[in-house]
């Protein structure tokens, strides 16, 4: 059986897609960033047959957006992508604090190529051609790997808790429903709990673009976030530091 755009060579296992879901990390969710639509369709189908939830992006910019806005257990990223190359996507994800393990796919398989990929922030590197069974096994290993300590995956400030993996936010045990941008805003504030976060820092790390720091887009989102995490609670956590920015802190 030919592996669509994985390579021009035959796969080593023609029935590799029919893998028992029991072998996979339960409820694993991955992102595949691959511009070859035939190869992506093959991978997506095979992963799903193995019990994995899969999202797909066909170019680097779309993949960067999806990887930043959603939580994944593993990302499979092709190195050569339109609009933004794979290594650039990985580097930017790491800058944004996205710690999901990344497996790089590439036709460039020399030692120097692999080293470059790993240094860019990748966790594994699989040269083409490859068998799907090996790709699946590597994804499974990465999914089982504890990328960061649990305390780094769950941020807590007082009775407010944010789970970076499940994207759940609770205060005093009650669910707080946030929009994706509100979640990223709160995540960044809690990551820097007890420290002043300037408007420029928020624009660069939450919105990822530069414009007039006097714009009111931040004030609007902070106001909405504050109403959601402080409504019906006596103790305020999110403070405006006049002339400086914002700070989230538990005063005790």
Over residues 115-158, the pLDDT tens digits come to 888 888 888 888 888 888 889 988 988 887 644 444 467 888 99
User: Span 172-179, mean pLDDT?
Assistant: 92
Of 143, 167, 193, the residue that ends a domain is 143
User: Is 121 among the domain residues?
Assistant: yes
User: Is 82 among the domain residues?
Assistant: yes
Residues 99-117: tens digit of each pLDDT: 889 999 988 767 777 888 8
Dist. CA 88–CA 106, nearest whole Å? 14
**154 in the same domain as 123:** no
Beta bridge partner(s), residue 56: 32
Q: Is the pLDDT of residue 24 over 50?
A: no
Q: What is the pLDDT of residue 129?
A: 81
Q: Parallel, antiparallel, or unpaired for β 102-106 and 124-127? A: parallel
**231 in the same domain as 133:** no
**60 in the same domain as 163:** no
Q: Is the pLDDT of residue 164 over 90?
A: no
Of 111, 143, 175, the residue that ends a domain is 143
Q: How many domains does the chain have?
A: 2
Confidence (pTM): 0.52
**170 in the same domain as 190:** yes
Dist. CA 89–CA 169, nearest whole Å? 27
Of 126, 143, 160, the residue that ends a domain is 143
User: Is 15 among the domain residues?
Assistant: no
Residue given tokens 């709160």 in the structure block: 186
**96 in the same domain as 45:** yes
Confidence class for position 212, pLDDT limits 50, 70, 90: low
User: Span 233-251, mean pLDDT?
Assistant: 89
User: Is 4 among the domain residues?
Assistant: no
**155 in the same domain as 134:** no
Give the residue, 64 or 165, on which the prediction is more confident.
Answer: 64
> What would the two tokens of residue 161 be?
């808790």
Q: Is the pLDDT of residue 170 over 90?
A: yes
**177 in the same domain as 118:** no
**176 in the same domain as 231:** yes
User: Is 49 among the domain residues?
Assistant: yes
**163 in the same domain as 126:** no
Q: Is the pLDDT of residue 189 over 90?
A: yes
Q: What is the pLDDT of residue 230?
A: 92
Q: CB under 8 Å to 165, separation ≥6 — which residues? A: 71, 153
Q: Are the beta carbons of 169 and 155 closer than 8 angstroms?
A: no
**161 in the same domain as 121:** no
Confidence class for position 208, pLDDT limits 50, 70, 90: low
User: Span 52-70, mean pLDDT?
Assistant: 92
Residue-range definition of the domain harbouring residue 132: 29-143
């Amino acid at each position: 059986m030919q592996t669509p755009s994985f390579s021009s060579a035959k796969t080593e296992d023609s029935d590799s897609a029919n893998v028992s879901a029991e072998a996979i990390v339960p409820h694993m969710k991955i992102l595949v960033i691959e511009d070859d639509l035939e190869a992506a369709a093959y991978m997506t189908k095979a992963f799903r047959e193995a019990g994995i939830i899969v999202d797909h992006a066909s170019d680097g910019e779309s993949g960067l957006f999806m990887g930043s806005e959603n939580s994944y257990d593993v990302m499979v990223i092709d190195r050569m992508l339109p609009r933004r190359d794979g290594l650039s996507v990985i580097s930017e994800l790491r800058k944004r604090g996205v710690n999901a393990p990344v497996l790089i796919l590439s036709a460039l398989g020399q030692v120097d190529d692999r080293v470059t990929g790993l240094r860019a922030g990748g966790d594994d590197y699989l040269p083409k051609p490859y068998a799907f069974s090996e790709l699946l096994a590597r994804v499974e290993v990465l999914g089982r790997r504890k990328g960061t300590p649990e305390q780094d995956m769950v941020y807590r400030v007082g009775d407010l808790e944010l789970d970076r993996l499940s994207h759940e936010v609770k205060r005093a045990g009650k669910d707080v429903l946030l929009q994706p941008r509100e979640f990223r805003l709160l995540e960044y504030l809690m990551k820097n709990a007890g420290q002043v976060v300037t408007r420029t820092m928020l624009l660069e790390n939450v919105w990822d673009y530069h414009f007039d720091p006097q714009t009111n887009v931040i004030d609007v989102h902070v106001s909405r976030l504050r109403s959601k995490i402080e409504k019906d609670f006596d103790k305020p956590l999110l403070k405006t530091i006049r002339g400086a920015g914002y700070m989230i802190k538990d005063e005790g």
